[in-house]
Amino acid sequence: MAVIAANIIYGLNYVIAKGIMPDYLQPRAIILLRVLGAMIIFQLVSLFFPKEKVSKKDLWRLALCAVFGIAINQIMFFEGLNLTTPINASIIMVGTPILVLVFSHFLIKERISTSKIIGIFLGALGASWLILRGGSFSFNSDMVVGNLLVVINASSYGLFLVLVKPLMAKYSPLTIMKWLFTFGFFFILPFSIRLTLESDYTLIPFTIWLSVGYVILFTTVLAYFLNNFSLKNISPTTNSSYIYLQPFLATLVVLSLGKDSLTWVEVVAALFIFSGVYFVSRKPSVA
């Protein structure tokens, strides 16, 4: 339920965050604001809960998780999306569960079951079909750099899910989020501070500030918390497979706003996606 809720938030974010950049804020300015906001919120909330002592070795691992899960992940995605098309980026991101499956197998010795392979294939098929109905995938020369940045983003996020999994068994999600965003803020700061300071905040209307608030409170604070909370009970591979729900949920949002109509393409894609999630999430039978 936690990872489903996180992906509902991400699905809505495609529509909400699109209206912010680049007309009102540049991508890296948004990144700094959301990471700063999340850091402050998690630091304040942690004051009302028992303090957990984190070992020095685990602090280094948390810093490494922040590099891949906050800094590289967010900067590469937003900068890559600026250079490529949403369709290219969406299809590349569909490869994330496959990367997680490989990283999990080699780094934390997660078994690659037939059920997981079937689930990832079905989910990727459904998500790709849904995405491609809106256009075509392109690798022309103008988009190569953007596509490469999104590949780096997908790889970075996949590695983050695997690296943070062992920490979830030792510490509360709140403690991990507090340290992740504290480290992440200082990693992002040198790359974003100039654009953030140069932004003209007087030109931003109230409705756009509401969108910025959604990106900070829901997409960053709540969705990151729910995603990492889910890792206490499910594997990184299972967690990442739910990314296939995002294009489906984004489509539902567009339909609810009356900007598109439901066709058999959405229905078939949904069947593939939910079948894929079922196979990846299914517990192995016990003899």
CA torsion through residues 168, 174, 180, 183, sign: negative
Q: What is the pLDDT of residues 213-268, one digit of tens each?
A: 999 999 999 999 998 899 888 888 788 878 777 767 766 766 676 655 667 776 77
Give the span between the Cα atoms of 13 and 284, in whole angstroms: 34
What's the mean pLDDT when you consider all of the chain?
Answer: 83
User: Residue 42 in contact with residue 255, Cβ under 8 Å?
Assistant: no
Highest mean pLDDT among 17-21, 59-63, 97-101, 275-279: 59-63
Give the span between the Cα atoms of 267 and 207, in whole angstroms: 33
Predicted local distance difference test score (pLDDT) of residue 79: 81
At 129, which helix (H) or strand (E)? Answer: helix 114-132
CA 46 to chain centroid: 23
Predicted local distance difference test score (pLDDT) of residue 88: 64
DSSP-assigned letters across all residues of 63-87 = HHHHIIIIIIHHHHHHHHHHHS-HH
Place of tokens 């900068």: 79
Q: What is the pLDDT of residues 190-206, one digit of tens each?
A: 999 999 999 999 999 99
